[in-house]
A and B are shown apart, each in its own frame.
Chain A
Amino acid sequence: MSQQAEETTTVGITVDGKEVEARKGEMLIAAAERAGIYIPRFCWHPRMKPVGMCRMCLVEVKGPRGFALMPSCYVPVADGQEVVTTSDKVKKAQDGVLEFLLINHPLDCPVCDRGGECPLQDQTIAFGPGESRFVEEKRHWAKPIPVNPLVALDRERCIQCARCTRFADEIAGDPFIDFIGRADATEVNIFPDKPFVSNFSANIVQICPVGALTATPYRFKARPWDLEIVESTCTACAVGCRVAVQSSSDRIIRNLGVDSDPVNQGWLCDKGRFGYEAANHDDRLTTPLVRRGEELVEATWGEALQAAADGLSQVRDTHGPQAVAVLGGARLANEDAYAWAKLSKGVIGTDNVDCQLADGLAGEVVLGLPRATIDQACAASAVILMAPDIKEELPVLYLRLRQAALDKGVPLIEIGPQATGLSRYATWTLLHRPGEAASVARALVDAVSGVAPSNEGGGPGGVPVADLSGAAELLGQRPVVVVIGRPSLAESTDATAEALAVLAELSDVAFLPALRRGNVHGALDMGLAPGVLPGRVSLNAGRPWFTAAWGSVPEARGLDALGIMGAAAANRIQAMVLLGADPSSDFPDRTLARRALAGIGFTVVVDLFLTDAALHADVVLPVSSWGERPGTTTNLEGRVTRLGQKVTGAGTTRPDWMIAVELAGRMGADLGFDTLDGIAAEIAVLAPSHLGLTPELLSRSSARDGLVVPLAPREDTGGDDAGPVTESVEVAAAQRQGETLLARSEPIDEDRSLEPGTPESSIPAASAPAAEVPPLLTFAGAEPAAPLRPVDAYSLRLVTSRALYDGGALVQHAPSLAPLASGTRFRANPHDLSRLGIRPGDLVRVTSPRASLVLEAVSDTGVPRSSAVVDFNQPDEGAGDLIDATQPVTEVRVETATRSRSS
């Protein structure tokens, strides 16, 4: 069977007399390249459709009338095809094309960013003539011109290969750069009334084969031969794009996308590409700070760590461990997260730990769901989207899903409170009233099993029943993948969790969690959430195992971020550690966050910048940023990849794990490791979902795209047959090693001070009965959310979601990105606007039980009636002031503030 399949998927061709096995349907140029025969090219790009424009890849192909010149990027392989790539005729044609490309090229290589890594330059040196026969005046254009704030265009250097125009149209779906004019007056440019607005714009710089497109933040910063490079994973969001980090003089100055087939396929979003600017910002914290009265003053690490340890110890000893909360951690690497989980849960003893800020889904929910990979989503028979705007929050996942919908015809069914960037490509966009996703999900699942939805009240959640039936028809095949996240931060998590539980009733369904924080999935896996322990196990199930390993774990499930905020506001939390989190700006209910932070007696902030929360902290510990330290990170698929260190940490900053180790020591405990590899080794034998995931395994070339955990099929999770790489032999061995290690070890002595040493010898041991690996979490369903008040004629239900460019620390400290934040706008359905007597552009007063904001009104048909969308966490204000997180849905009233300034 498989042999037969092989026969039909390959064809034999002859290239320069060499027999080559080619994949059916691929182009000659690709088949030749895999066989080691490189055909020069400019316009061909393996991730885009061929155009055959540059003609550099001309080769001779034998046809019915003998050999003829053909572009190898545009001729599909055929059985028995004869190809010649080195004949005099081919050479002359290619030399001719090169000469043509050069006649109008300015040859300003010494001042061109591309010089040194330029395909045109390389091929001219390799194949081109020594001097030009062109004595005429070259073509001139004004240059450079901006196509947007991040990308500059030099039309004189352009060789019109259509890579940028194809990327914008085919890949990004933002076709705002195109050819204008004809003949040798053809230019690439933007449209006069439409700048190249795209979250992906700088990819065109990376794929430009000459220096026509340059990145404004990088222009004239370095020469390629001065750059040092390391491969890493971007953590600006949770997609986990592979990236080449480049530095000069110990400063990161460029990121390039690396083609990781299962993830980003070479692309990056602009935020990920230019986010490194934040690490270079002058506002970076470089020295620890300690509070002396009203002031934060610089301190040594010893002083600061001691102050932090003393403060935390004192609260724990006085008020009990549950008076301590640890918030944040989604910025951390996996090893940091594990160290902090062990410190929080094993040493301090609190389960009031949450890496999310009430903007995601509960750890028990996310970790228990059957997980899909991006590839599985893109090959599913249908994808249900119940997520925020993927184009804004997980941009490269948007590219993948968009392409699956367009190229493979995967139907997208979108359920949400407002239209998103993917709505254009969705077969059905089921826009519902905020907070009512569960009723839509219920009706959809019922319709799949043949129960017709009721049309009562305009359909479930306001979705017309015809749309539901249409969507249900697409769900007849399997598998189905659900992309699940928080479509709106102005409604409770319960509503989403309930809807999710309904969708989980579908057979053969898998989930791709759309949580956006950088390493939120690694943090959840490592136990930085209430009710869970490292390795995707629940607190209860993992108690014996981790008690044996760590000495102790919290007795009861702790509070999540919302609970912690409420408890802090009620003075029941006395000490808080903020791990790269600033609730005063990033918590959906800012009013609650401010009251909570004011009620805390002792605060330790571990961060890159002096945030608002840090200004009121007792101890501030500066950490190393992305690119300044190694480690691993985990993306939304559960794919673990390695982070690269390219530069040294700013000032005296340290990685987060080191701070946890130091604090533990100063609190009288020993985490049992003092190296990053030591932590990784402990995770590989202790975290049930990560068993066998050793640094050695991750460093193999077969793990270049990372490894999806859990590694090997496990009986109790049903297995993941389609997981990309399973190193089952190593995994089994590691599992055995973990078990024997635990079995042969001495009973734990809590007072014993462990000597640092090799990872294996430093792991505290458990007694034999605890040696059974705890089962991984499974999704247990959800409680029904609190009932909603019906919408009245005077109120609008609030919807809020994030944009790629927001008021977050990364964007606001990246000078190139900060100006791209849109500011807070009020968007509503034109029907509602006219009903309220509001014209687009008017200033309106939006009032919730929490606050009142004056915002500009925007008319948007993508917002369903009776809803109001206000952007979250923009640098000016943002919906966080309006949201009452204790309510199922925040309602707002809207009135005209003044007429628009323009009228």
Chain B
Amino acid sequence: MITDAPAIVTRRHGLAESWTLATYLRNGGYDGLRKALTMEPGDITSEVLTANILGRGGAGFEAGKKWSMLGKARPAYLVVNGDESEPCTFKDHMLLENDPHQIIEGTLICARAVGASQAFIFVRGEFALGLERMQAALNEAYAHGAVGRNIFGSDFSIDVVVHPGAGAYICGEETALLESLEGKRGYPRDKPPFFPAAVGLYSKPTIVNNVETVSNLPWIVMNGGQAFADLGVGRSTGTRLFSLSGHVKRPANYEVEMSKTTFQDLIYDPRLGGGIRNDRELKAFVPGGASAPWFGPDQIEMALDQDAVGKAGSMLGSGSVVVMDDTTCMVRAAWRITRFFHKESCGQCTPCREGGGWLDKIMNRIELGAGRRSDLDLLLDVCDNIAPGLSWPPQKTTICVLGPSIPSSITSAIKMFRDEFLAHIDEGRCPFGPPVGNSVPAAAVSSRGDA
């Protein structure tokens, strides 16, 4: 159901020049920071613990709990992750472009709460406008006295740096992001033994929070954690921004109250998705980003609730919902996602580096009509060698979760649409015909390393 919950992170979107300091200040900007400066750091954390805001980057870990786990060594760092690169996820993109000051304010509140001595906002390099507005906002904030030495005349000082990413999807993974920030190749770190809260940036305790997560902080500080926790149901509190895309009439970002809103509402409500394009049938949808196992029409009534979706074998993940109608070739859809993960593997560990390429080649072969019936078992077994057991949440033979993200679409497609695979194999062609629009040419999977 569509509730009357207030818009929290998107409340200034649509205002004239919402990204400027002037607009921001006229609409309650930096009030949260001013209030936070009067609070003890521990009290800020308490409010965030009360709010129980789940991390909005993908893993959905409680932000306040993460802060409480920060190691005692100093200096400690805060890194805000704006390297949003998951296919069909574009919520942080809009937050960066439309309300950069809200991110800065949230960053400062978090830094104040955890005692960070330096903050970095890592923004995906392809977000040209977002980067420009983020940097301009930061300059304004410095001039306004909101960032830097003795913020608003208090004894709180911190510098914030905007760091453009260099174009690798993997750098959205927090430890790869830290490596990249340190000037190294974007390789995720093995964890255990150490998580960033203990050993992070430059081997110091580090909090990594998502752009959307910190964007909620000014509201939480102003309205109290309880007001946030009053929204939603159970552990899934507050509102959340969902990127709705695919075969819907109104693809866009929608901020809705968690748990009370369902996938049905999101996709079909005229105020939200407005239904399937051309009023066709829903075939399947991805509930939480390209890494998430797919859902079918029978799961449409499920609430946008982290635990409910988790229990059903998938995740809300990055908050991206992709809708596929009955014209979609599921083999091709799964192959396109596989191909994305294959190309974006950092290449550090064997199962992901080699397994991703292999799965891509098999899927491509099936889509082109050169598949064999034994390929289905082969696909599942190769997937099993990356994510043993093919369970959810996945186990892994890899360093990070990119590898175990590859099997999601393949296993979902085989489980839900085995007949389509067999049709490809038996007919020796794709029953949906050649790709149309911006699909990838058949010879896209090259075996040549030499460019």
**Which of A's residues lie within 8 Å of B, judged by CB?**
52-56, 58, 63, 68-71, 74-76, 89, 92-93, 95-97, 99-101, 103-104, 133-134, 136-142, 155, 159-160, 179, 181-187
Contact = CB atoms under 8 A, between A and B. Distances in A.
A54 B351 CA distance: 8
B450 interface: yes
Nearest to B378: A133
B353 interface: yes
A63 B193 CA distance: 11
B86 to A, nearest CB: 17
Q: Which of A53, A89, A100, A140 has the most CB of B within 10 A?
A: A100
Nearest to B341: A183
Contact of B395 (A52, A54, A68, A100): A68
A186 B388 contact: no
B347 A52 contact: no
Interface stretch (B126-134, B279-287, B396-404): B396-404
B345 interface: yes
B336 interface: no
A69 B351 contact: no
A186 B349 CA distance: 11
B391 to A, nearest CB: 12
B342 interface: yes
B355 to A, nearest CB: 6
Contact of B347 (A56, A70, A160): A160
Nearest to B372: A135
Contacts of B345: 182-184
Contacts of B289: none
A136 B447 CA distance: 9
Contact of B385 (A54, A96, A186): A96
A160 B397 CA distance: 16
Interface stretch (B46-54, B356-364, B419-427): B356-364
Given A55-B351, A155-B449, A182-B345, A92 B385 contact: yes
Contact of B354 (A63, A76, A101, A137): A101
Nearest to B345: A183
B357 to A, nearest CB: 4
5 contacts: A97-B385, A136-B362, A139-B448, A140-B448, A182-B170
A136 B365 contact: yes
B413 to A, nearest CB: 20
Given A96-B384, A97-B385, A182-B345, 9 more contacts: A52-B349, A58-B397, A69-B396, A71-B190, A92-B384, A99-B385, A137-B447, A183-B343, A184-B353
Contact of B346 (A58, A101, A183): A183
B447 A141 contact: no
A137 B192 CA distance: 36
A97 B448 contact: no
Contact of B449 (A95, A134, A185): A185
A183 B382 CA distance: 17
B350 interface: yes
Nearest to B403: A55
A56 B351 CA distance: 10
A182 B395 contact: no
The 9 closest A-B pairs by CB, nearest first: A96-B385, A186-B347, A184-B357, A100-B354, A183-B345, A137-B447, A136-B361, A52-B190, A182-B347
B342 A53 contact: no
Contacts of B350: 53-56, 97, 100-101, 159-160
Contacts of B185: 179
Contact of A182 (B168, B382, B397, B399): B168
B344 interface: yes
Contacts, number: 119
Interface of B: 168, 170, 185, 190, 192-193, 342-351, 353-358, 361-362, 365, 378, 382, 384-386, 388, 395-399, 447-450
A141 B349 contact: no
Contact of B388 (A92, A139, A184, A187): A92
A179 B168 CA distance: 15
A69 B447 contact: no
Contact of A104 (B192, B354, B385): B354
B343 A96 contact: no
Contacts of B343: 182-183
Contacts of B351: 55, 96-97, 100
A256 to B, nearest CB: 26
Given A89-B388, A184-B347, A134 B397 contact: no
B349 A54 contact: yes
Nearest to B447: A137
Nearest to B355: A100
Nearest to B169: A182
A312 B346 CA distance: 72
Contacts of B447: 136-140
Nearest to A50: B190
A479 B325 CA distance: 77
Contact of A93 (B190, B346, B362, B397): B397
Contacts of B396: 69
A69 B403 CA distance: 14
Nearest to A181: B347
Contacts of A101: 350, 354
Contacts of A75: 192-193
B362 to A, nearest CB: 7
A179 B349 CA distance: 13
A169 to B, nearest CB: 11
B388 A103 contact: no
Contacts of B398: 55
Contacts of A53: 348-350, 399
A100 B350 CA distance: 7
B353 A70 contact: no
Nearest to A136: B361
A160 B353 contact: yes
Contacts of A103: 354, 358
Nearest to B389: A89
Q: Which of A52, A101, A139, A185 has the most CB of B within 10 A?
A: A185
A95 B397 CA distance: 11
Contacts of B384: 92, 96
Contacts of A159: 350
A63 B396 CA distance: 15
B346 A182 contact: yes
A130 to B, nearest CB: 16
Contact of A69 (B168, B361, B397): B397
A741 to B, nearest CB: 61
A101 B351 CA distance: 8
A778 to B, nearest CB: 47
Given A136-B361, A138-B447, A140-B448, A179 B347 contact: yes
Nearest to B353: A184
A773 B396 CA distance: 69
A184 B385 contact: no
A54 B447 CA distance: 22
B449 A100 contact: no
A778 B199 CA distance: 51
A218 B399 CA distance: 36
Contacts of A89: 388
A698 to B, nearest CB: 43
Contacts of B354: 100-101, 103-104, 184
B94 to A, nearest CB: 28
A58 to B, nearest CB: 6
Nearest to B446: A185
B397 A97 contact: yes
B359 to A, nearest CB: 11
A95 B386 CA distance: 11
A182 B385 contact: no
Contact of B356 (A55, A58, A96, A184): A184
A709 B397 CA distance: 51
A437 B397 CA distance: 58
Nearest to A187: B449
A52 B353 CA distance: 14
A719 B313 CA distance: 71
B397 A96 contact: yes
Contacts of B386: 96
